[in-house]
C-alpha cells in the first residue's frame, strides 16, 4: 500500500493529456504558428509541410519539396527525419512521381549519420520511420545496403538505448536552448508516426521528459542556467534561442508573439521546426505546463546529466554533470560544476532575468581552447582539430568568445549565491576571465565596497571580484575582464520580492567582503551569504556549506519540488500540488494520479 | 657503404625511369572534408572515395558523395572497405554500391584493414577499440581485451603471420599474437600513436608515427621499439609509406613539416616538401608500378603528386580538401 492518503487514479498510459487551462490558447497558438510558417518562403521541409497542410502556395510548395528531395547539400541526418516527417504527413496529397522520388532518396542519397547525439537522434528517427514506411524491401533498395528489417531493428535498438540513457544518466547534449529542437522535433515526429504502440509510447514519454526537463528550468521563455552547448548569440540573448519558440507554443511564454519581435528574429529566422510540434497530436500534460509556468514560490532544483562521450584522455566515458538551479518569478541563477563537460560551446553558469528586454543575462567564463580538449571528444589528431575548429568555427579560439568550457573554472552555488573560482595555468593562450553585463541593465554601478550592483526590473545582482578587473565597452554589453590567473567572483542575486528596495539589497551586501585564502594551485574562497550561510570552496577541493561538504555523489537524477528521479532508475516523477505523473522508462508506462488534498 | 648503395639504386631508378611493376594498380583516396564542399563550390563538391587507375593522374569519385571518409582499401578479392563516418562500408562492385556493414555499436572508425590472405576478414580501428569481422562484415566482434583505454587509430595485420597485429592507441603501440583476442602494450608507452606500417622488404620491421613524439621503429616483429634515428623528435607523424621496390626508401608525412624521406632505412632523413603548399601531410602512397610517383594527401590542401620520388611536388586535385587516406592494390 503506497499511502492511504493517496488515491491512485492510475491508468497505464491511457490518461488523456489534460491541459485544460491552456488548451484553448494552445490551440490558438499552434494554429497561428502553422499559419505563419505557411506564409514563409524559407526553403525547408517545415515550411513546405505547413504550406501543404494549410493549402497555401500549393504549387510552389510542391516544387520546393521536389527540389529539397534532390538537394544533396542537406546533411543526411537533417534530411532523414524531416523528409520522412513531411512525407508521412503529406503523402495523401503528393503526386505519385514526387512520392516515388522521396522514396528513391532513401535508396540513393547519402544519409550521413553524423557524430553527435542530436545527429543520431535525427538519423535513427528518420531511418526508423522510413524502414517502417517501406517494409520488406531488400538490401538493394536502401542507401546503406541493409534491408528494411535490418534498418528498422538497428534504428529501434539505438532509439531505445537513447531513451534509456537519457532517462537514467541524462543527455550529453543536455538543456541546450538551441539543440533542444534537434531532439524534440524528431521525438515528436516519432511519436506521430511510429506504428508500434510501444515505440509511440516511449516517444511520448521522451517528449514528456524533454519538456519537463525544460519546464523546471524555464522562466518566461528562457531556458535558464548552465547548459551543455549553445551559440554566443543565444547565450547573450536567451530569448533568441529556438527553445523560446517551443516555450511560447507549449508554455505560452514569453508573453509576446515572438516572431513579431524583430529583435529576436535575425539568427533563427527560418528555423521552423516548431511547426512539427504545432502539427503534432502530442499534447503537453498539464502538469508540465504548470511546472513551467508557476513561479509563485522560489525553489532549488538539482539534476544530473552526463558529459558527452569522452573517447580519449579520460578514464570514464560519461562522467556526471551536476547542475544546480535556483528559480524565482523574477530571475533564475543556475550552474554546472565547471570544468570540461562539453567541447566548444559550454555555458557554465548565468543569471537570467525575467524581462521583456533582450540580453537579459549576466555570466562569466574563461575563454579556453586546446587541441587536447577537442581530442577528448573527436577522433582526429589534436593539432588538426585545433586548426579545423579554428578554420570553421573561428569563435573557438577567439579570446572574446562567449561560450567555453575550461578546466580552470569551478563553481559552488547555494540558492541565489554563486562562487566561481578561476585558477588558470600560466602559459595559457587566453589568460583572462570575461564577464557579460548587458548595457540595457536598468542600473549598473561600482560601489566603493567593491561590489558591482546591477538591476534589471525587479531583479538585483551583486557581483564581487576578489582581484582587479577592467571594463571594456562593446556594442551591446560591458565586458568585465580580469587578467588575474587566480581569481574568484561572488554573485548574489535577489529581487524586490525578497529584498525590498534595491538600496536595501545594496546595504545588505556592502559590509560583506569575501576572502580568498590559500595560494599555489588550490585557492580557497570563504564567504557568508546575506542569508547567513557560510560557503567555503577550494579549487579542486571540497565545497563546504555551513561546515558540511556538498557531496555530488548524492545528487539525484532530478531533485526538486517538481521533478524527482533516482539516478539510473529510469523512473521520473513529476509533482505539482496534488497531481503526480510518473514515467517508467523500463516498463514503458505512464501513470497519473492525484493525491488527496 | 650500404647507404651509398641504396641511394645509388634509388637515383638509378629515378634517372632510368625503371618501371618495376608492370601491372597497373588501383589507388584509393579517402577525402574527409573539403572547404569547397562546404561552400558548395563546383570544382570538387563531393567528398568520400576517389579511385585512380592511372597512377594518381586522374580520379573518379565512387559511391556516396557526402560521406566523411577516413580510409579505404581493397582486399584480395577486390572488395573495397571504407572507414567512414557511418561505420565500415564495403563494396563488391568496385564502389558502385555500398553496404554499411556495421551497426550503431561501431562508430568513429579511423581505419579498416583487410586480412592479407583472407578477404572476408578485416579489422576496424575505432574510437571505441578494435573490431573484427571474419564474414565480410556480416558480423563484427569487439577485440579490446588488454587495452587500458580503447581508443585506436590504426591497426596493422602482419602480412606473413596474419594472427599478429599491431594497434595504435593513445597509450602507445599494442601487439596481439592471436588475432586480437588479447593485446599487450609493447612500445611508445604514454605516447599517442596514430599510424603503423610494416616494411615491405623486412617483415620483422614495423614503424609507428606519433602525435608530438616523432617516429619509432621496431625491427623484431614489434617486440621492442626505439625512436627513429635523427628524425625530429617533436614532430607529429600522420603517415608512413615505403618504396615497394627499393629497400630502405621510406616517406613520412608530418604535421607542419610536410614529407620527410629516408634513403637509408631510416638512418638519415631529409625534408622533401618542395612544391607542397600545405605541410600537413596526412596520407602517403608510393605507386608500385612506378615508385618514382608518390602521392601525398594533405589536410585542407588537397592531393599532391611527385614524379621524382618526392623531390618536387605538384598539386593534383581536391583543392582545399582533406585527403585523409591513401592506399593501393
**Could A154 and B299 be called an inter-chain contact, meaning their C-beta atoms sit closer than 8 Å?**
no
- pLDDT class of B7 with cuts at 50, 70, 90: very low
Interface test with B, best of A127, A317, A380 (most B CBs within 10 A): A380
pLDDT at residue A251 in the model:
95
Compute the Cα dihedral for A434, A435, A437, A443 and give only its sign. Answer: negative
**Could A384 and B255 be called an inter-chain contact, meaning their C-beta atoms sit closer than 8 Å?**
yes
Closest-CA distance, A145 to chain B, in angstroms, reads 4
Interface test with B, best of A43, A149, A313, A384 (most B CBs within 10 A): A384
φ, ψ (nearest 5 deg) of residue A152? -60, -45
**Could A311 and B151 be called an inter-chain contact, meaning their C-beta atoms sit closer than 8 Å?**
yes
Closest CA to B94 of B145, B170, B28: B28
pLDDT at residue A16 in the model:
40
Q: Tell whether A87 and A22 lie within a shared domain.
A: yes
Task: Tell me which of A343 and A576 has the higher pLDDT.
Answer: A576
Closest-CA distance, B37 to chain A, in angstroms, reads 9
In this structure, of A267-271, A272-276, A573-577, B160-164, the range with the lowest mean pLDDT score is: A267-271
Q: Tell whether A280 and A183 lie within a shared domain.
A: yes
| B295 in any annotated domain | yes
B66 Cβ under 8 Å from any chain A Cβ: yes
| B329 in any annotated domain | no
Q: How many structural domains comprise chain A?
A: 3
Most confident of A55-59, A70-74, B2-6: A55-59
Smallest Cβ–Cβ distance between B255 and the set A72, A143, A383 belongs to A383
- pLDDT class of B310 with cuts at 50, 70, 90: very high
Q: Tell whether A277 and A305 lie within a shared domain.
A: no
Closest CA to B178 of B130, B235, B238, B240: B130
Mean pLDDT, chain A, whole residue set: 91
pLDDT at residue B39 in the model:
42
pLDDT at residue A509 in the model:
95
How many CB atoms neighbour CB B172 within 10 A? 21
The CB-side HSE value for A139 (13 A sphere, CA atoms) comes to 10
**Could B153 and A379 be called an inter-chain contact, meaning their C-beta atoms sit closer than 8 Å?**
yes
Percent share of chain B, pLDDT over 70 = 90
Indicate whether A5 pLDDT > 50.
no
Q: Tell whether A285 and A314 lie within a shared domain.
A: no
Indicate whether A57 pLDDT > 60.
yes
Q: Tell whether A62 and A144 lie within a shared domain.
A: yes
Predicted confidence (pLDDT) per residue in B161-190, tens digit: 999 999 999 999 999 999 999 999 999 999
Predicted confidence (pLDDT) per residue in B235-252, tens digit: 999 999 999 999 999 999
- pLDDT class of A256 with cuts at 50, 70, 90: low
Backbone φ/ψ region at B63: left (φ over 0), alpha (ψ -120 to 50), beta: left
Indicate whether B46 pLDDT > 80.
no
**Could B280 and A384 be called an inter-chain contact, meaning their C-beta atoms sit closer than 8 Å?**
yes
Cα–chain-centroid distance for residue B32? 14
Interface test with B, best of A113, A126, A315, A388 (most B CBs within 10 A): A113
Q: Which residues in chain A have Cβ-Cβ distances shorter than 8 Å to B40?
A: 73
**Could A161 and B194 be called an inter-chain contact, meaning their C-beta atoms sit closer than 8 Å?**
no
- pLDDT class of A384 with cuts at 50, 70, 90: confident
Identify the domain boundary among A256, A277, A293: A293
pLDDT at residue A270 in the model:
60
Q: Tell whether A251 and A305 lie within a shared domain.
A: no
Q: Tell whether A142 and A238 lie within a shared domain.
A: yes
Q: Tell whether A310 and A217 lie within a shared domain.
A: no
Task: Tell me which of A213 and A389 has the higher pLDDT.
Answer: A213
CATH code at B290? 2.130.10.10
Radius of gyration of chain A, Cα coordinates, nearest whole angstrom: 24
In this structure, of A262-271, A304-313, B273-282, the range with the lowest mean pLDDT score is: A262-271
Cα–Cα distance, A166 to A503 (Å, whole number): 45
- Please give the average per-residue pLDDT across A172-193, as a whole number: 97
Smallest Cβ–Cβ distance between B108 and the set A76, A311, A384 belongs to A311
In this structure, of A5-19, A565-579, B68-82, B88-102, the range with the lowest mean pLDDT score is: A5-19
- Please give the average per-residue pLDDT across B8-32, as a whole number: 62
Indicate whether B226 pLDDT > 60.
yes
**Could A144 and B100 be called an inter-chain contact, meaning their C-beta atoms sit closer than 8 Å?**
yes
Closest residue in A to B45 (Cα–Cα) = A73
Q: Which residues in chain A have Cβ-Cβ distances shorter than 8 Å to B255?
A: 381, 383-384
Cα–Cα distance, A291 to B126 (Å, whole number): 43
Indicate whether A261 pLDDT > 60.
no
Helices and strands, number each (H, E), in chain B: 2, 28
pLDDT at residue B15 in the model:
42
**Could B104 and A124 be called an inter-chain contact, meaning their C-beta atoms sit closer than 8 Å?**
yes
Indicate whether A263 pLDDT > 60.
no
| B245 in any annotated domain | yes
Instruction: Decide the pairing of beta strands A470-473 and A571-576.
Output: unpaired
Q: How many structural domains comprise chain B?
A: 1
| B83 in any annotated domain | yes
pLDDT at residue B102 in the model:
98
Cell of A110: 547519402
Contact criterion met (CB below 8 Å) for B147 and B133: no
φ, ψ (nearest 5 deg) of residue B223? -75, -45
pLDDT at residue A257 in the model:
57
- pLDDT class of A268 with cuts at 50, 70, 90: low
Q: Tell whether A235 and A329 lie within a shared domain.
A: no
Mean pLDDT, chain B, whole residue set: 91
Indicate whether B65 pLDDT > 90.
no
pLDDT at residue B36 in the model:
58
| A552 in any annotated domain | no
Helices and strands, number each (H, E), in chain A: 17, 28
Identify the domain boundary among A251, A273, A293: A293
Helix (H) or strand (E) holding B160: none
Interface test with A, best of B211, B257, B298, B321 (most A CBs within 10 A): B211
Indicate whether B41 pLDDT > 60.
no
- Please give the average per-residue pLDDT across B28-38, as a whole number: 78
- Please give the average per-residue pLDDT across A355-359, as a whole number: 88
Interface test with A, best of B30, B44, B103 (most A CBs within 10 A): B103
pLDDT at residue A314 in the model:
86
Q: Which residues in chain B have Cβ-Cβ distances shorter than 8 Å to A76?
A: 66
| A252 in any annotated domain | yes
**Could B300 and A391 be called an inter-chain contact, meaning their C-beta atoms sit closer than 8 Å?**
yes
Closest CA to A278 of A24, A533, A1, A28: A28
B283 Cβ under 8 Å from any chain A Cβ: no
| A528 in any annotated domain | no
How many CB atoms neighbour CB A95 within 10 A? 10
- Please give the average per-residue pLDDT across B204-231, as a whole number: 96
> In chain A, which residues touch B (CB < 8 A)?
72-73, 75-76, 110-115, 120, 124, 139-140, 143-146, 154, 157-158, 161, 311-313, 315, 379, 381-384, 387-388, 391-392
B67 Cβ under 8 Å from any chain A Cβ: yes
B65 Cβ under 8 Å from any chain A Cβ: yes
Cα–Cα distance, B284 to B304 (Å, whole number): 10
Q: At what angle do helices A117-133 and A180-193 cross, to 10 degrees?
A: 20
| A92 in any annotated domain | yes
In terms of residue numbers, what domain contains A349? Answer: 299-512
Cα–Cα distance, A67 to A44 (Å, whole number): 10
pLDDT at residue B47 in the model:
84
Identify the domain boundary among A239, A266, A293: A293
| B94 in any annotated domain | yes
Residue corresponding to grid cell 497519473: A592
- Please give the average per-residue pLDDT across A155-178, as a whole number: 97
| B21 in any annotated domain | no
**Could A140 and B256 be called an inter-chain contact, meaning their C-beta atoms sit closer than 8 Å?**
no
B17 Cβ under 8 Å from any chain A Cβ: no
In terms of residue numbers, what domain contains B173? Answer: 2-13+26-324
Residues sharing a CB contact under 8 Å with residue A61, sequence separation 6 or more, in sequence order: A47, A48, A51, A52
Cα–Cα distance, B84 to B110 (Å, whole number): 7
pLDDT at residue A269 in the model:
53
Predicted confidence (pLDDT) per residue in A442-467, tens digit: 999 999 999 999 999 999 999 999 99
Indicate whether A301 pLDDT > 60.
yes
- Please give the average per-residue pLDDT across A497-502, as a whole number: 93
Q: Tell whether A261 and A315 lie within a shared domain.
A: no
Closest residue in B to A315 (Cα–Cα) = B149
Q: Which residues in chain B have Cβ-Cβ distances shorter than 8 Å to A124?
A: 104
| A574 in any annotated domain | yes
Radius of gyration of chain B, Cα coordinates, nearest whole angstrom: 18
| A530 in any annotated domain | no
**Could A72 and B300 be called an inter-chain contact, meaning their C-beta atoms sit closer than 8 Å?**
no
Q: Tell whether A153 and A274 lie within a shared domain.
A: yes
Interfacial B residues in 112-141 facing A (CB < 8 Å): 126-128
- Please give the average per-residue pLDDT across A121-140, as a whole number: 98
pLDDT at residue A193 in the model:
98
Closest residue in B to A381 (Cα–Cα) = B211
3-class SS at B36? Answer: helix
- pLDDT class of B285 with cuts at 50, 70, 90: very high
| B173 in any annotated domain | yes
Q: Tell whether A27 and A62 lie within a shared domain.
A: yes
Cα–Cα distance, A60 to A328 (Å, whole number): 47
Smallest Cβ–Cβ distance between A381 and the set B127, B149, B194 belongs to B194
Amino acid at each position: 500500500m503506497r499511502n492511504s492518503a493517496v488515491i491512485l487514479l492510475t491508468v497505464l498510459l491511457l490518461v488523456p493529456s489534460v491541459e485544460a487551462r491552456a488548451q484553448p490558447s494552445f490551440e490558438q497558438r499552434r494554429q497561428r504558428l502553422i499559419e505563419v510558417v505557411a506564409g514563409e518562403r524559407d526553403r525547408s521541409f517545415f515550411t513546405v509541410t505547413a504550406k501543404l497542410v494549410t493549402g497555401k502556395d500549393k504549387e510552389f510548395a510542391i516544387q520546393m519539396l521536389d527540389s529539397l528531395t534532390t538537394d544533396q547539400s542537406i546533411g543526411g541526418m537533417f534530411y532523414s527525419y524531416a523528409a520522412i516527417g513531411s512525407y508521412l504527413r503529406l503523402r495523401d496529397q503528393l503526386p505519385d512521381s514526387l512520392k516515388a522520388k522521396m522514396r528513391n532518396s532513401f535508396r540513393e542519397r547519402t544519409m550521413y549519420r553524423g557524430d553527435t547525439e542530436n545527429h543520431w537522434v535525427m538519423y535513427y528517427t528518420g531511418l526508423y520511420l522510413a524502414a517502417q514506411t517501406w517494409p520488406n524491401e531488400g538490401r538493394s533498395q536502401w542507401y546503406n545496403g541493409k534491408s528494411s528489417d535490418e534498418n528498422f531493428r538497428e534504428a529501434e535498438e539505438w532509439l531505445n538505448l537513447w531513451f534509456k540513457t537519457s532517462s537514467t544518466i541524462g543527455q550529453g547534449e543536455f538543456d541546450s536552448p538551441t539543440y533542444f529542437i534537434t531532439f524534440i522535433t524528431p521525438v515528436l515526429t516519432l511519436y506521430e508516426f511510429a506504428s508500434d504502440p510501444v515505440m509511440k509510447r516511449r516517444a511520448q514519454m521522451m517528449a514528456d521528459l524533454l519538456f519537463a526537463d525544460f519546464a523546471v528550468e524555464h522562466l518566461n521563455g528562457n531556458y535558464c542556467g548552465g547548459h551543455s552547448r549553445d551559440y554566443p548569440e543565444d547565450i547573450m540573448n536567451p530569448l533568441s534561442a529556438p527553445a523560446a519558440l517551443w516555450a511560447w507554443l507549449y508554455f505560452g511564454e514569453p508573453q509576446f508573439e515572438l516572431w513579431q519581435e524583430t529583435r529576436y528574429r535575425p539568427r533563427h529566422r527560418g528555423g521552423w521546426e516548431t511547426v512539427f510540434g504545432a502539427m503534432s497530436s502530442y499534447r503537453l500534460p498539464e502538469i508540465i505546463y504548470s511546472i513551467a509556468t508557476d513561479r509563485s514560490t522560489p525553489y532549488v532544483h538539482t539534476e544530473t546529466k552526463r558529459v558527452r562521450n569522452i573517447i580519449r584522455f579520460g578514464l570514464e566515458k560519461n562522467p556526471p554533470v551536476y547542475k544546480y538551479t535556483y528559480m524565482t518569478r523574477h530571475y533564475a541563477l543556475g550552474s554546472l560544476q565547471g570544468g570540461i563537460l562539453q567541447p566548444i560551446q559550454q555555458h557554465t553558469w548565468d543569471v537570467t532575468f525575467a524581462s521583456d528586454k533582450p540580453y537579459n543575462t549576466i555570466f562569466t567564463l574563461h575563454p579556453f581552447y586546446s587541441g587536447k580538449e577537442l581530442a577528448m571528444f573527436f577522433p582526429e589528431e589534436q593539432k588538426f582539430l585545433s586548426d579545423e575548429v579554428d578554420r570553421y568555427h573561428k569563435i573557438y579560439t577567439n579570446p572574446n568568445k562567449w561560450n567555453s568550457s575550461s578546466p580552470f573554472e569551478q563553481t559552488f552555488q547555494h540558492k541565489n549565491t554563486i562562487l566561481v573560482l578561476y585558477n588558470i595555468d600560466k602559459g595559457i593562450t587566453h589568460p583572462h576571465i570575461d564577464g557579460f553585463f548587458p548595457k540595457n541593465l536598468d542600473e549598473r554601478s561600482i560601489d566603493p565596497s567593491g561590489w558591482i550592483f546591477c538591476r534589471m526590473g525587479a531583479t538585483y545582482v551583486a557581483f564581487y571580484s576578489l582581484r582587479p578587473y577592467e571594463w571594456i565597452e562593446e556594442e551591446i554589453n560591458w565586458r568585465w575582464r580580469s587578467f588575474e590567473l587566480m581569481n574568484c567572483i561572488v554573485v548574489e542575486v535577489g529581487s524586490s520580492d525578497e529584498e525590498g528596495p534595491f538600496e536595501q539589497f545594496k546595504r545588505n551586501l556592502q559590509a560583506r567582503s569575501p576572502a580568498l585564502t590559500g595560494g599555489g594551485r588550490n585557492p580557497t574562497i570563504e564567504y557568508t551569504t546575506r542569508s547567513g550561510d557560510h560557503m567555503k570552496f577550494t579549487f579542486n577541493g571540497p565545497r563546504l556549506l555551513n561546515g558540511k561538504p556538498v557531496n555530488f555523489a548524492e545528487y539525484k537524477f532530478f531533485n526538486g519540488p517538481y521533478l524527482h528521479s533516482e539516478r539510473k532508475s529510469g523512473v521520473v516523477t513529476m509533482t505539482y500540488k496534488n497531481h503526480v505523473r510518473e514515467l517508467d522508462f523500463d516498463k514503458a508506462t505512464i501513470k497519473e494520479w492525484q493525491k488527496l488534498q | 657503404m650500404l647507404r651509398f648503395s641504396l641511394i645509388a639504386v634509388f637515383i638509378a631508378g629515378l634517372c632510368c625511369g625503371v618501371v618495376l611493376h608492370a601491372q597497373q594498380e588501383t589507388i584509393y583516396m579517402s577525402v574527409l572534408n573539403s572547404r569547397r564542399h562546404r561552400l558548395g563550390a563546383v570544382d570538387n563538391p563531393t567528398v568520400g572515395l576517389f579511385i585512380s587507375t592511372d597512377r594518381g593522374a586522374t580520379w573518379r569519385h565512387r559511391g556516396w558523395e557526402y560521406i566523411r571518409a577516413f580510409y579505404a582499401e581493397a582486399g584480395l578479392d577486390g572488395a573495397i572497405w571504407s572507414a567512414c563516418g557511418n561505420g565500415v562500408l564495403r563494396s563488391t562492385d568496385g564502389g558502385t554500391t555500398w553496404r554499411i556493414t556495421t551497426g550503431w555499436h561501431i562508430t568513429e572508425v579511423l581505419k579498416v584493414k583487410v586480412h592479407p590472405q583472407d578477404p572476408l576478414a578485416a579489422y576496424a580501428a575505432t574510437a571505441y577499440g578494435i573490431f573484427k569481422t571474419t564474414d565480410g562484415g556480416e558480423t563484427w566482434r569487439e577485440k579490446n581485451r588488454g587495452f587500458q583505454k580503447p581508443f585506436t587509430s590504426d591497426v596493422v595485420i602482419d602480412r606473413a603471420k596474419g594472427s599478429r597485429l599491431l594497434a595504435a592507441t593513445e597509450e602507445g603501440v599494442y601487439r596481439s599474437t592471436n588475432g586480437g583476442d588479447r593485446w599487450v602494450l609493447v612500445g611508445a608507452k604514454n605516447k599517442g600513436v596514430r599510424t603503423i606500417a610494416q616494411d615491405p622488404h623486412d617483415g620483422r620491421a614495423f614503424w609507428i608515427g606519433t602525435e608530438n613524439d616523432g617516429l619509432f621503429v621496431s625491427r623484431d616483429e614489434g617486440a621492442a621499439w626505439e625512436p627513429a634515428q635523427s628524425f625530429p623528435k617533436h614532430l607529429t607523424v600522420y603517415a608512413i609509406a615505403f618504396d615497394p621496390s627499393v629497400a630502405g626508401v621510406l616517406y613520412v608525412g608530418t604535421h607542419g613539416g610536410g614529407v620527410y624521406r629516408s634513403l637509408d632505412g631510416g638512418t638519415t632523413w631529409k625534408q622533401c616538401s618542395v612544391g607542397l603548399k600545405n605541410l600537413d601531410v596526412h596520407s602517403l602512397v608510393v605507386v608500385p608500378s612506378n615508385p618514382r610517383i608518390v602521392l601525398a594527401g594533405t589536410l585542407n590542401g588537397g592531393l599532391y603528386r611527385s614524379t621524382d620520388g618526392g623531390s618536387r611536388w605538384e598539386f593534383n586535385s581536391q583543392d582545399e580538401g582533406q585527403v585523409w587516406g591513401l592506399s593501393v592494390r
